[in-house]
Structure 1
């Protein structure tokens, strides 16, 4: 690998951060090992190893995807590829991370749906008001309260769906 960055190169700062974090975890009980220096050659070796692993994992997951007659690699393909590559020790941590990612994504989708529904309801109320189908102040307040209650019900429904 030359001194210039190639398209396949992984960001050195990310590799260094991951390596340092893992080394810190492994040496946390040894107070004499505060900050471990990582030589440039070692960082290059880590980076190249990670790049090769990602290429191998991608190719294996792609083969699994093609066997299933699909066009896109999904998370299950990657998990199955790890099994085929004989890296079962990575399945549990990856599965945990994947579940956390899915939960986070689901809550973001839920929030987005709720905000979208609120905007739609608000627009409908405003449109009614503009078209002369408006209500007195008490009726408008009542409608806003109703929208708030429906929003809370939608949020509760989304929470129940996630569980």
Structure 2
């Protein structure tokens, strides 16, 4: 658990970067506005976490899942967030899957290369022995 209330705040730099990406170029955000955005984003995340936790507890689970969050959004009347978040979540899962497959492929290529090098070394040793 957090020792202080401030420990629950989202990082100001991350919130500011997200806010700037949502605004047109040339628009600046006042320091006070950045602080309010960061605080309100933190409160929203905590509120959704609490609502999702309540849903998980009703279902006798200790682990929150994505469906708990989607259901919490619906129950708290943030229905308009559900579809865009589901699309983003599907994109994230695809990115993770593609990344994992790329790492597996890279690893198998390295292992294949090492096996080829070992075979070449063994062939050289056999030729030397003759």
TM-score normalised over the length of structure 1: 0.61
Match for residue 60 of structure 1?
51
Count of residue correspondences:
123
Unaligned runs of 5+ in 2: none
Structure 2: distance between partners of 1:44 and 1:120: 50
User: CA RMSD for the aligned pairs?
Assistant: 2.9
Match for residue 109 of structure 1?
100
Structure 1: distance between partners of 2:97 and 2:23: 33
Structure 1: distance between partners of 2:78 and 2:110: 48
Secondary structure of the equivalent of 1:111?
helix
Unaligned runs of 5+ in 1: 25-33, 137-163
Structure 1: distance between partners of 2:116 and 2:23: 58
In terms of fraction of residues, the more helix-rich structure is 2
Match for residue 8 of structure 1?
8
Q: 1:35 to 1:127 in 2, by over 3 A?
A: closer
Structure 2: distance between partners of 1:23 and 1:108: 30
Q: 1:127 to 1:86 in 2, by over 3 A?
A: same
Match for residue 81 of structure 1?
72
Contact 1:129 1:135 in 2 (8 A): no
